[in-house]
């Protein structure tokens, strides 16, 4: 260390450092639970979003699992809708949609996803709730952690970790239930049989959940989650987020028994640190918006309960944009260019998906032209071309298909087999011979279309463009 | 979690220094050491379980007994198990029966791909398109010996050898010119009367064309004689080409003769293989 840095300069250099404690997970955060508006919202969302996630696979539809991502069968089933790999572009749109919605929501109201919807924070919430039931409130938990090894401690800890592990396994199983018929799946698990994939897949989920939720907790949000790392660029001064109103709160100070002139000069914050105690990521919101805040709003609940007690106006910590906090007019989201742009993109993505869903046809046709030889001259001088039609039936029932060829004047079509029934969910290959009089073909190749049509429902059809080849004239 | 060393100097240094940069003796991070030992353990387990250690006459076999060849053979067994019922029915059924069964004929086509490529494609082309003027097209509806499935089996099993006498010495130039014109007119749907006489042997040359090709020129499958009245030519359909065929014949004892010989596959191939090939050829486009 160089000698010429003066004592005072050194102190200045480090003046900020005591504020900015970087949470690297040395100590487990034991957040206090407190009731309030945001606490309720969190429970309601957890129940409304996550319970269905576990239950949805049990819904049946037309005798099959309503939502089944059938990887070996290469199709995604959503009730009557069956999405085949051909339609995967819609999945791409859907992923883009998620991404854009995330951007839009973040620019309007910050990490709403983190605070209320994210499986990590919701699961941490549930796990810590269980922890509280078993080990007691935060103070008791800290004590228990510090206590020497005893039968009592081992008993509680073992019970807790068993429950955590089971929840991890259950998470894995619930994930798998989207990929395999859920009733078959339970059958396999109970009889210890079934494909090895369903056993192996449990592992990463169980381990991941156990490590991520039981141990790492807020560390995931701090340092691992990619969304957390980039959300800084999605929010700006107009984004509303849980914010400590420092204008009202500072200078903070403890309430003294006898009120003196001193107290008059103090702000509304009574420095009780309840907002820090309840924070699931263990940060102090009074330092301003920071990377660890998942915008769960629990500190708002905490501070409001205090303000009520000391009879000061509520919302010292509140959802507010930086712009408004600094005394400017709040710009609503519909007046912000970036939000409007996000919505425009979201709208076009939605229309793409809707268009895809409307135009999906259960019948699809691909035609492969025989190229060896390109054409055959028959004994009566006619030209014959051979094609292989691949007719795919994406529906759940067999379809009798009629095939037509268009674009040639006198074409005779011979199909093998002549009667075509495409079984449900199967691809059928049909050989087609097309014969045409030589005089009817103008050039070397003539544009030709094959059309397939459900005989019982003419609206279900598809066509394919190809060519009919003949000799040079 | 945190591995941040607040006092990096504590462990001292090795005494090595380069431009003021010292080599410290801090321990390697724990996670690194754990992965290091784990990979050593992995290595040992791998050595025990899988073939790995080179020995003088080969290599250690490994406890699992895994080899690539074994894996390949297991895979082949699986494939064969799927094919077996089809193969059995192909063996049992006669070729007409196979043809009637769409699924079975699809199997025959699919499983005879390699056979066709090895034995048929060199002459008839990989798609059965033939080789112009030398080897017949298999995809059209014109058959020298007949396009019935049984006949195709016979052709493949026993082979075929065409024959046609040359008329270089027996016909005069005028007769030759006339008969060539007649043959050309046949496929155009008309008759060139002077040539017809030659064709029917009513001139001095006493040609016997009709004896094999029929009075109407449509050929007789019993002899394998070509249909002269259609648009398809066995050899060369130009005027010179037809003249050449008539002059030098087919499989005759002169250097200019046309050659038309298909080898017999009855010895080389198994009956099932021939059945499969026949079905494939029949379904190429022109089977009768
Ligand atoms: S809860 Fe409210 S009053 Fe208490 S320290 Fe936090 S901001 Fe201040
Ligand atoms: S600072 Fe407040 S809103 Fe942010 S994570 Fe902590 S409790 Fe939730």
Domains and CATH numbers, chain B: 13-59 (no CATH), 88-161+264-282 (1.10.760.10), 173-259 (1.10.760.10)
Could you tell me which residues are beta bridge partners of residue A466?
A448
Q: Which string of DSSP letters, residue by residue, matches B202-244?
A: -STT---HHHHH-TTS---TTTT---SSSS--SS--SHHHHHH
CA dihedral B102, B108, B111, B117 (to 10 degrees): -120
Helix (H) or strand (E) run with residue B13 in it: strand B13-18
Question: What is the model's pLDDT at position B4?
Answer: 61
Q: How many domains does chain A have?
A: 3
Question: Does the CB of A412 have a partner CB in chain B at under 8 Å?
Answer: no
Question: For ligand 2, is residue A242 a contact (CB within 6 Å)?
Answer: yes
Inside any domain, residue A15: no
- Flag whether A351 is in a domain: no
Q: Both A170 and A274 in a single domain?
A: no
Q: Verify that A171 and A307 share a domain, yes or no.
A: no
Is there a domain that residue A19 lies in? no
The pLDDT tens digits for A380-421 are: 888 889 999 999 988 878 999 999 999 888 888 988 888 899
The enclosing H or E element of B18 equals strand B13-18
Q: Indicate the residue of A24, A370, A378 with minimum beta-carbon distance to B141.
A: A378
Any ligand 2 atom below 6 A from CB of A118? no
pLDDT band of A77, cuts 50, 70, 90 = confident
pLDDT tens column, A84-97: 888 888 889 999 99
Q: Which of B6, B127, B143 to mutate to test the interface with A (most CBs of A within 10 A)?
A: B127
C-alpha span between A130 and A125 (Å, rounded): 9
Which of A188, A215, A234 terminates a domain? The answer is: A234
Please tell me whether residues A41 and A152 are part of one structural domain.
Answer: yes
Has residue A433 been placed in a domain?
yes
- Output the six-digit token pair for B44: 């040992």
Whether residues A378 and B140 touch (CB distance < 8 A) is answered with yes
Average pLDDT over residues A293-313: 92
Same domain assignment for residues A244 and A220 = no
Look at residues A318, A335, A352 and tell me which one is the last residue of a structural domain.
A335
Mark out chain B residues that contact chain A at CB-CB < 8 A.
1-2, 4, 102, 106, 125-130, 137, 139-142, 227, 230-232, 283, 285-286
Q: Which domain holds residue A383?
A: 363-469
In B, minimum Cα distance to A416 occurs at: B102
Angle formed at CA A436 by CA A432 and CA A437, multiple of 5 degrees: 160
Tokens matching residue A132: 């509280």
Highest average pLDDT, of A69-83, A285-299, A430-444, B30-44, comes from B30-44
Q: Which two tokens stand for residue B28?
A: 């390697």
Q: Could you tell me the CA-to-CA distances from B168 to B165, B186, B207, B252 in Å, in that order?
A: 9, 22, 11, 12
Distance B184 CA to ligand 1 centre (A): 108
pLDDT of residue B1: 41
Peptide bond into B224 cis (omega under 30): no
**pLDDT computed for residue B2 by the predictor:** 47
Are A120 and A245 in a shared domain?
no
Which residue among B2, B102, B285 sits closest to A376, beta carbon to beta carbon? B285
Judge whether residue A12 has pLDDT over 80.
no
A120: Cβ below 6 Å to ligand 2?
A: no
pLDDT at B3: 55
- Calpha distance B101→A281 (Å, rounded): 70
Quote the CA–CA distance of A280 and A28 in Å, as a whole number. Answer: 10
Question: What residue in A sits closest to B229 (Cα-Cα)?
Answer: A379
pLDDT in tens, A153-166: 999 999 999 999 99
Reduce the DSSP state of residue B142 to 3 states and report it.
coil
Counting from 1 in the atom list of ligand 2, the atom nearest the Cα of A31 is 7
Q: How large is the average pLDDT for residues A126-131?
A: 93
Q: Which of A115, A293, A315 to mutate to test the pocket of ligand 2 (most atoms within 8 A of CB)?
A: A293
Residue A3, pLDDT > 70, answer no
- Assign B14 to helix, strand or coil: strand
Cα distance between residue A322 and residue A239, in whole Å: 7
With helix as H, strand as E and coil as C, how does chain A read? Answer: CCCCCCHHHHHHHCCCCCCCCCCCCCCCCCCCCCCCHHHHHHHHHHHHHHHHHHHHHHCEECCEECEEEECCCCEEEECCEEECHHHHHHHHHHHHHHHHHHHHHHHHHCCHHHHHHCHHHHHHHHHHHHHHHHHCCHHHHHHHHHCCCCHHHHHHHHHHHHHHHHHHHHHHHHHHCCCCCHHHHHHHHHHCCCCHHHHHCHHHHHHHHHHHHHHHCHHHHHHHCHHHHHHHHHCCCCCEEEEECHHHHCCCCCCCCCCCHHHHHCCCCCCCCHHHHHCCCCCCHHHCCCCCCCCCCHHHHHHHHHHHHCCCCCCCEEEEEHHHHCCCCCCCHHHCHHHHHHHHHHHHHHHHHHHHHHHCCCEEEEEEECCCCCCEECCCCCEEEEEEEEEEECCCCCEEEEEEEECCCCCEEEEECCCEEECCCCEEEEEEEEEECHHHCCCCEEEEEEEEEECCCCCCEEEEEEEEECCCC
Cα gap A155→A172, rounded to integer Å: 26
Q: What is the per-residue pLDDT for A4?
A: 63
In-domain check, residue A41: yes
Ligand 1 atom 3: residue of nearest CA: A269
Q: Are residues A184 and A267 in the same domain?
A: no
Predicted local confidence at residue B120, as pLDDT: 93
Our answer on whether the CB atom of A270 is closer than 6 Å to any ligand 1 atom is yes
End-to-end CA distance of chain A: 93
The residues near A170 (Cβ < 8 Å, ≥ 6 apart) are none
Question: What is the distance between the alpha carbons of residues B248 and A44, in angstroms, rounded to a whole number?
Answer: 97
A230 and A244 share a domain?
Answer: no
In a domain, A61, yes or no: yes
Instruction: Work out the end-to-end distance of chain B between its first and last CA atoms, rounded to an integer number of angstroms.
Output: 80
Which of these three, A199, A216, A234, is where a domain ends?
Answer: A234
Q: Interior CA angle at A199 toward A193 and A201, to 5°?
A: 155
- Give the residue, by CA position, lying nearest to ligand 1 atom 8: A269
Interface A:B, Cβ pairs < 8 A: 59
Mean pLDDT to the nearest integer, A211-233: 88
Q: How far is B170 from chain A (nearest CA, A)?
A: 30
More confident residue, B191 or A37: A37
The C-alpha of A413 sits at a distance from chain B's nearest C-alpha, in angstroms, of 12
**Atom 6 in ligand 2: which residue has the minimum CA distance?**
A279
Provide, rounded to the nearest whole percent, the portion of chain A with pLDDT above 90: 45
Q: Across the interface, do A373 and B139 touch by the CB < 8 Å criterion?
A: yes
Check pLDDT > 80 for residue A19: no
Given a contact cutoff of 8 angstroms between Cβ atoms, the answer to whether A298 and A280 are in contact is yes
Helices (H) and strands (E) in chain B, counts: 12, 4
A461-469 sheet: strands from edge to edge: A420-422, A399-406, A445-454, A461-469
Do residue A64 and residue A170 come from a single domain? Answer: yes
Angle at B141 between CA B136 and CA B144, to 5 degrees: 50
| A95 and A138 share one domain | yes
* ipTM greater than cut 0.85: no
DSSP per-residue codes, B44-91 = HHHHHHSS--B-SSSB---TT---HHHHHHHHHHHHHHHHHHHHHHHH
Q: Is the CB of A279 under 6 A from ligand 2?
A: yes
* Whether A431 contacts A388, CB under 8 Å: yes
Q: Is A271 in the pocket of ligand 1 (CB under 6 A)?
A: yes
Q: What share of chain B is helix, strand, coil (3-state, %, to 5)?
A: 45, 5, 45
Q: Do A372 and B142 touch (CB under 8 A)?
A: no
Residue A1 lies inside a defined structural domain of this protein: no
* Contact (CB, 8 A) for B127 and A370: yes
Residue whose Cα lies nearest atom 4 of ligand 1: it is: A272
In this predicted structure, the answer to whether residue A342 has a pLDDT above a threshold of 80 is yes
What is the CA(A276)–ligand 1 centre distance, in A?
8
Least confident of A248-252, A262-266, A437-441: A262-266
Tokens of B47: 């050595």
What is the rounded CA–CA span in Å between residue B147 and residue B155?
Answer: 10
* A198 vs A8, more confident: A198
Q: Helix crossing, A119-135 with A138-146: angle to 10°?
A: 80
Residues A57 and A176 placed together within one structural domain of the fold: yes
List Cβ neighbours of A448 (8 Å cut-off, separation of 6 or more).
Answer: A405, A406, A407, A408, A411, A434, A465, A466, A467, A468
Query: Is A222 a domain residue?
Result: yes
Chain A residues with CB-CB distance to B147 below 8 A: none
The residue of chain A with its CA nearest to that of B127 is: A372
Q: Given a cut of 60, is residue A2 above it in pLDDT?
A: no
- Tell me: do A297 and A437 sit in the same domain: no
Give me the mean pLDDT over the A118-146 stretch.
91
User: Which residue carries 């009629």 as its tokens?
Assistant: A402
Element containing residue B17 per DSSP (H, E) = strand B13-18
Which residues in chain B have Cβ-Cβ distances shorter than 8 Å to A384? Answer: 139-140, 285
pLDDT profile of chain B (288 residues), mean per 10: 62 85 86 96 94 87 89 95 93 90 90 93 90 88 90 93 89 90 84 86 84 87 86 87 92 90 92 93 85
> Is residue A26 less than 8 Å (CB to CB) from chain B?
yes
Q: Nearest CA of chain B to the CA of A451: how many Å? A: 21
Contact B226, B219 (CB under 8 A): yes
Are A267 and A250 spatial neighbours (Cβ–Cβ below 8 Å)? yes
* Ligand 2 neighbourhood includes A296 CB (under 6 angstroms): yes
For residue B280, list chain A residues with Cβ-Cβ distance below 8 A. none
Q: Give pLDDT, residue B6.
A: 66
The verdict on A227 and A376 lying in the same domain is no
The CATH number for A444's domain is 2.60.40.10
Q: Which residues of A touch B4 (CB under 8 A)?
A: 24
């Amino acid at each position: 260390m160089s000698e010429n840095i003066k004592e005072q300069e050194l102190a200045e250099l480090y003046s900020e450092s005591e504020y900015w404690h970087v949470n690297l997970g040395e100590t487990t955060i034991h957040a206090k639970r407190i009731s309030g508006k945001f606490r309720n919202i969190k429970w309601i969302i957890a129940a409304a979003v996550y319970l269905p996630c576990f239950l949805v696979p049990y819904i049946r539809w037309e005798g099959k699992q309503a939502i089944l991502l059938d990887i070996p069968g290469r199709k995604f089933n959503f009730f009557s809708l069956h999405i085949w790999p051909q339609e995967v572009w819609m999945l791409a749109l859907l992923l883009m949609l998620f991404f854009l919605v995330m951007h839009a929501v973040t620019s309007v109201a910050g990490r709403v996803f983190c605070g209320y919807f994210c499986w990590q924070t919701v699961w941490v919430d549930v796990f810590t709730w269980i922890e509280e039931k078993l080990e007691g409130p935060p103070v008791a938990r800290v004590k228990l952690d510090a206590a020497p090894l005893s039968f009592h401690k081992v008993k509680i800890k073992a019970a807790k970790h068993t429950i955590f592990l089971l929840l991890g396994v259950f998470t894995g199983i619930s994930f798998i239930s989207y990929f395999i018929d859920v009733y078959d799946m339970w059958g396999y698990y109970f009889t210890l049989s079934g494909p090895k994939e369903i056993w192996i897949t449990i592992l990463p989920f169980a381990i991941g959940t156990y490590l991520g939720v039981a141990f790492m907790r807020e560390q995931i949000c701090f340092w691992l989650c990619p969304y957390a790392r980039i959300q800084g660029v999605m929010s700006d001064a107009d984004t509303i987020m849980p914010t400590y109103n420092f204008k009202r709160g500072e200078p903070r100070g403890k309430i003294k028994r006898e009120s003196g002139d001193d107290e008059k000069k103090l702000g509304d914050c009574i420095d009780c640190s309840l907002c820090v105690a309840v924070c699931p990521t263990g940060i102090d919101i009074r330092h301003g918006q920071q990377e660890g805040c998942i915008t769960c709003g629990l500190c708002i609940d905490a501070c409001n309960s205090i303000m009520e007690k000391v009879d000061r106006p509520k919302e010292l910590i509140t959802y507010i944009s930086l712009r408004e906090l600094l005394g400017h007019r709040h710009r609503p989201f519909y007046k912000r260019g970036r939000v409007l742009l996000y919505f425009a993109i979201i709208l076009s993505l939605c229309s793409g998906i809707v268009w895809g869903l409307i135009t999906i046809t259960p019948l699809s046709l691909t035609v492969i032209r025989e190229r060896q030889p390109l054409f055959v001259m028959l004994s009566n001088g006619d030209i014959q071309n051979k094609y292989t039609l691949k007719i795919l039936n994406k529906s759940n029932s067999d379809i009798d298909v009629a095939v037509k060829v268009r674009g040639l004047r006198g074409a005779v079509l011979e199909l093998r087999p002549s009667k075509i029934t495409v079984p449900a969910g199967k691809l059928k290959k049909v050989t087609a011979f097309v014969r045409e009089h030589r005089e009817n073909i103008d050039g070397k190749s003539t544009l030709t279309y094959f059309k397939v049509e459900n005989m019982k429902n003419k609206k279900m059809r598809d066509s394919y463009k190809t060519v009919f080849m003949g000799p040079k004239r | 979690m945190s591995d941040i060393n607040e006092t990096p100097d504590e462990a001292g240094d090795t005494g090595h220094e380069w431009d003021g940069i010292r080599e410290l003796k801090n321990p390697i991070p724990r996670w690194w050491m754990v992965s290091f030992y784990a990979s050593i353990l992995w290595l040992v387990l791998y050595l025990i379980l899988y073939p790995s250690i080179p020995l003088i006459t080969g290599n250690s076999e490994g406890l699992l007994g895994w080899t690539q060849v074994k894996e390949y053979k297991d895979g082949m067994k699986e494939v064969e198990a799927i094919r077996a019922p089809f193969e059995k029915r192909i063996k049992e059924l006669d070729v007409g029966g196979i043809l009637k069964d769409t699924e079975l004929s699809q199997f025959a086509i699919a499983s005879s791909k390699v056979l066709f490529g090895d034995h048929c494609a060199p002459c008839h082309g990989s798609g059965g398109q033939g080789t112009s003027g030398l080897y017949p097209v298999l995809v059209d509806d014109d058959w020298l010996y007949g396009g019935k499935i049984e006949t195709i089996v016979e052709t493949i099993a026993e082979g075929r050898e065409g024959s046609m006498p040359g008329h270089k010495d027996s016909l005069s130039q005028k007769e030759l010119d006339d008969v060539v014109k007649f043959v050309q007119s046949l496929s155009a749907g008309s008759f060139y009367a002077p040539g017809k006489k030659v064709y029917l042997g009513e001139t001095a040359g006493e040609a016997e064309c009709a004896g094999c090709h029929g009075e109407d020129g449509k050929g007789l499958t019993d002899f394998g004689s070509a249909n002269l009245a259609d648009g398809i030519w066995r050899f060369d359909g130009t005027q010179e080409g037809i003249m050449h065929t008539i002059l030098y014949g087919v499989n005759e004892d002169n250097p200019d003769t046309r050659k038309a010989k298909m080898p017999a596959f009855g010895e080389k191939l198994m009956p099932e293989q021939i059945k499969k090939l026949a079905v494939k050829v029949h379904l190429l486009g022109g089977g009768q």
